[in-house]
Amino acid sequence: MMSMRHDTNQSKRHQNSRKIRKSKHPEASDAGPHVRRDHKDRLFCDLFSNKQNALSLFNAINGTDYSDVDALEIITLKDVVYLTMHNDLAVCIYDQMGLFEQQSTINPNMPLRGLLYFAREYEGWLAKNQKDIYGKALVRIPAPQYYVLYNGTEQMPEQSTYRLSDAFAAPAEGCEWTVRVLNINPGNNPELLDKCEPLKGYTTLIALIRREQEAGKEIAEAAATAIDTCIERNILRDYLIKHKAEVTGMILTEYNEKLHEKTLREEGREEGRREERERSCQQMTEAVRSLMEKLDLSAEEAMGLLGLSEKDRAQYRDLL
């Protein structure tokens, strides 16, 4: 489809040191605690919802040097009508439509997902610009650009291309849709990262969190330590200082979403599922407590940052 041109009141909390009683673990379905997916944008989405950061990313990937932030329009799909139809970042600038997805897992279905994303994006663009595709005149549309920014733990080449035709059940001449996958883990695509400080800062923060986890820290402590390290090193400093609590909440929400999804996929005997629920509950409780201690939040504020539903909040209050 295209080629790359150059390439996350002072609290009134009272200590009540009640021990967690196993008999009071929330019976929160087979999947453990319910994490509201719409509570917060993921860290990547939030960081690049800033137009200056989005323009920096577009320029870095395309080798352009556009400077007019007002010329860029963010058109990211949100979960409004189509509950599963959302993307991370979509922009329109100078007759180009760029879609950028951050992924921590390898997904060969991204070309199909991208095709569906762009169909929705173009539908909105046509309506907004009052274009008639049923007339005789050719309707010119923004040129599409589709990139996946990969920062998972599995080994991936610096750059790769996925093609929709790989999924065709039968050969089809002349039909194709591609996605360019760029590995943004530290040590990969250094020229790209050097051209986009927000992206480089994001990848550094995630790498630091993983390093702290590998050292034995729980996710909440790992996130807090990594954020403090970035601030000290002047990495995303202004953003992290201003939004420290929100960033911590987004990181923990993402982590618990992944834990939640992993639990859903688990198979086995009921005993195994019960143990997984208890483990998930324990980790969520620890995450709430850590937020309360690290950021000096009340229990309600901490649970709010983690996106717990009101139903789950009532159950977790007994455990804190």
**Quick count: other Cβ atoms within 10 Å of Cβ 166?**
12
Q: What is the pLDDT of residue 215?
A: 92
279-320 confidence digits (pLDDT tens): 777 778 888 888 888 788 888 888 877 777 787 777 777 777
What value does the mean pLDDT of the chain take? 80
Task: Say if 6 falls within a structural domain.
Answer: no
Q: Are 230 and 201 in contact (CB under 8 A)?
A: yes
Range of 257's domain?
Answer: 26-317
The answer to pTM > 0.95 is no
Task: Say if 2 falls within a structural domain.
Answer: no
Alpha helix (H) residue ranges in 233-269: 237-242, 244-265
Task: Say if 240 falls within a structural domain.
Answer: yes
Three-state SS string across 175-236, please? CCCEEEEEECCCCCCHHHHHHCHHHHHHHHHHHHHHHHHHCCCCHHHHHHHHHHHHHHCCCC
Reading the block at residue 274, the tokens are 């019960």
More confident residue, 169 or 22: 169
Instruction: Give the number of domains in the chain.
Output: 1
Task: Say if 13 falls within a structural domain.
Answer: no
180-228 confidence digits (pLDDT tens): 999 999 999 999 999 999 999 999 999 999 999 999 988 888 889 999 9
Q: Which helix (H) or strand (E) holds 54?
A: helix 51-62
**Quick count: other Cβ atoms within 10 Å of Cβ 312?**
21
Reading the block at residue 310, the tokens are 């009101």
Identify the three-state secondary structure at position 106: coil
Q: Which residue has the tokens 């020229």?
A: 191
Task: Say if 210 falls within a structural domain.
Answer: yes
Task: Say if 115 falls within a structural domain.
Answer: yes
Task: Say if 21 falls within a structural domain.
Answer: no
Q: What is the pLDDT of residue 299?
A: 83
122-155 confidence digits (pLDDT tens): 999 999 999 999 999 999 999 999 999 999 989 9
Task: Say if 8 falls within a structural domain.
Answer: no
Report the alpha-carbon distance of residue 216 to residue 230 in Å, rounded: 19
